[in-house]
Amino acid sequence: MPKPRSTGKFRRAKLRHKLFTLGPDFLLRGRLRERHLKNEIALRHFDVHLPNWRNELGTLRIGHLSDLHFGDLMPSERVEQIVDALRDRDLDLIAFTGDAVDLEWRGIEQFFDLLVSVPTTLGHVMVLGNHDHLDDPDAVVEAARARGIIVLMDEVVTIERPGHGSIRVGGVDWTKRLQECSERIAMISEQLSEEDRPVDVLLSHNPKGFIEATRQCIPLTLAGHTHGGQVALKGRPDRNLAVAHRLSAGFYEREGSALFVTTGVGSWFPLRVHCPPEVVILDVSKGEWVEPDPDAHSAIQP
Domains detected in the chain = 41-300 (3.60.21.10)
What does the pLDDT read at residue 243?
84
Taken in order 136, 137, 141, 144, the sign of the CA dihedral is: positive
Q: How many Å apart are CA 270 and CA 25, to the nearest integer?
A: 9
What does the pLDDT read at residue 35?
87
What does the pLDDT read at residue 235?
83
Q: Which residues of the chain have pLDDT under 50?
A: 301-302
